[in-house]
Amino acid sequence: PGSTTIASLLLMLSFAVLGASTALLAGASAPAGANGVVRPRAAVLLAEAAATTDEQKASGISWDSHQYVDQAPESLIRDDDLQGANQDMRRRFEENCRRAQNAICKAVSELDGAEFREDVWTRPGGGGGISRVLCNGNVFEKAGCSLSVVYGSMPQDALQSATSRGADRAKGYAPGERVPFFACGLSSVMHPRNPMAPTMHFNYRYFETDGGVWWFGGGSDITPAYLFEEDIAHFHQTYKDVCDTHDPEYYARFKKWADEYFTIKHRGETRGLGGIFFDDQNDRDPEAIFAFSKECLDSVVPAYLPLVAKHKDDSFTQQQKEWQLMRRGRYVEFNLVYDRGTVFGLKTGGRIESILMSLPETARWEYSHEPAAGSPEAEIMDAFKTPREWAK
* Nearest by Cα to 179 from 150, 212, 205, 209: 209
Residues in the chain, how many?
Answer: 392
Quote the crossing angle between the two packed helices 300-311 and 229-246, to the nearest 10°.
170
CB count within 10 Å of CB 162 equals 19
Residue 294 CB: number of other CB atoms within 10 A? 17
Once rounded to an integer, what is the mean pLDDT over residues 121-135?
92
Reported as a single tens digit per residue, the pLDDT across 66-82 is 788 989 899 999 887 67
Q: What sign does the CA torsion over 349, 354, 355, 360 have?
A: positive
Q: What is the largest CA-CA distance in the chain?
A: 64
What's the CA gap between 32 and 37, in Å, rounded? 5
| Contact (Cβ atoms closer than 8 angstroms) between residue 56 and residue 63 | yes
Alpha-carbon span 28 to 24, nearest angstrom: 7
| Backbone torsion region of residue 212, taken as left when φ is above 0, otherwise alpha when ψ lies between -120 and 50, otherwise beta | left
Residue pair 222/272 in contact (Cβ under 8 Å)? The answer is: yes
Task: Give percent above pLDDT 70 in the chain.
Answer: 78
Active-site hit among 191, 201, 234, 236: 201
List pLDDT tens digits, range 322-339.
999 999 999 999 999 999
Contact 206, 343 (CB under 8 A): no
CB atoms within 10 A of CB 309: 12
Q: Does position 190 have pLDDT exceeding 70, yes or no? A: yes
pLDDT at 169: 67
Q: How far apart are CA 38 and CA 240, in angstroms?
A: 54
3-state SS record for the chain: CEEEECHHHHHHHHHHHCCCCHHHHHCCECCCCCCCCCCEHHHHHHHHHHHHHHHHHHHCCCCCCCEEECCCCCCCCCCCCCCCCCHHHHHHHHHHHHHHHHHHHHHHHHHHCCCCEEEEEECCCCCEEEEEEEECCCCEEEEEEEEEEEEEEECHHHHHCCCCCCCCCCCCCCCCCCEEEEEEEEEEEEEECCCCCCEEEEEEEEEEECCCCEEEEEEEEEECCCCCHHHHHHHHHHHHHHHHHHCCCHHHHHHHHHHHHCEECCCCEECCCCEEEEEEECCCCHHHHHHHHHHHHHCHHHHHHHHHHHHCCCCCCHHHHHHHHHHHHHHHHHHHHCCHHHHHHHHCCCCHHHHHHHCCCEEEECCCCCCCCCCHHHHHHHHHHCCCCCCC
How far apart (Å, rounded) are the C-alpha atoms in residues 340 and 176? 22
The mean-pLDDT minimum among 19-33, 124-138, 375-389 falls in 19-33
pLDDT band at 12 (very low <50, low <70, confident <90, very high): very low
Taking each helix axis as running N to C, give the angle between helix 41-59 and helix 340-347, from 0 to 180 degrees, rounded to the nearest 10.
80
Residue 29, pLDDT above cutoff 50: no
- Is residue 176's pLDDT more than 90? no
pLDDT tens sequence across 197-228: 999 999 999 999 888 889 999 999 999 999 99
Confidence class for position 159, pLDDT limits 50, 70, 90: low
- Look at 4-8, 108-112, 245-249, 361-365 and tell me which has the smallest mean pLDDT: 4-8
Verify whether residue 201 is a known catalytic residue: yes
pLDDT given at position 6: 47
Global pTM reads 0.84
Higher-scoring residue by pLDDT: 31, 114: 114
Does 179 have pLDDT greater than 90? Answer: no
pLDDT of residue 212: 83
